[in-house]
Amino acid sequence: MELQEILIRLSVATLAGIILGLDREMRGIAAGVRTHALVALSSGLITVSAFMVHADLLAAGDTSVDPLRVVQGLAQAVGFVAAGTIFFARGTVHNLTSAANVWLAAAVGIAAGIGQYSLVIAGMAFGVIIVTVVRGMERWVPGNRKATAVDTGQAAQEGSKNERRHVKRGADARKRPRRLLRQRERRPAKQTDHR
């Protein structure tokens, strides 16, 4: 594989990751543009490397190597990364969409690494539609909690409470180290009796 083809494949993977991460970044979610771009780039890079090794081994006469095992391993590894973004708090699960989007970025990176550009374009198009257009349509689904919270304005009220809580915690966190230092300074040093 020539250097130009490698650079094209890795550039496509990185650009696809950036595009997929834009929605998450605009929503202020930690797994944003850089995370998605790095996941897609690393997936593309590992895939390109696996296919280059496979070609080299075939040229040397070794036919026992299967480059598709790399794709399987990447899917499992990215599954762990994506699972790390999911958390459960106050009775609800958070970041499922971000986890799925990270997994999609890896899949698009793998497709770019193999050189399947039409698959990259189709995967990106569907991914962008799902995280943007379908998100807007969720409010019209009957019984959807997200829709009722948005319609009643409850989400905005809860958001402002959470912001105040985080600001308060942030201020306390900044004061805490100073407070602990002052307490330590006030304590008399422990006298040890070495008899």
DSSP string spanning the chain? --HHHHHHHHHHHHHHHHHHHHHHHHTT-SS-HHHHHHHHHHHHHHHHHHHHHHHHHHHTT-----THHHHHHHHHHHHHHHHHH-EEETTEEE-HHHHHHHHHHHHHHHHHHHT-HHHHHHHHHHHHHIIIIIHHHGGGSTT-HHHHHHHHTHHHHHHHHHHHHHHHHHHHHHHHHHHHHHHHHHSPPPP----
Residue 162 confidence class, pLDDT cut points 50, 70, 90: very low
Q: What value does the mean pLDDT take over residues 76-103?
A: 85
- Least confidently predicted of 27-41, 89-103, 166-180: 166-180
Q: Does the pLDDT at position 99 exceed 70?
A: yes
Q: Is the dihedral of CA 101, 106, 107, 113 positive or negative?
A: positive
Higher pLDDT, 27 or 8: 8
Q: What value does the mean pLDDT take over residues 89-97?
A: 83
Higher pLDDT, 31 or 7: 7
Most confident of 4-8, 156-160, 180-184: 4-8
Percent of the chain with pLDDT over 90: 31
pLDDT of residue 117: 93
pLDDT tens digit sequence for 46-69: 999 988 988 888 888 887 778 888
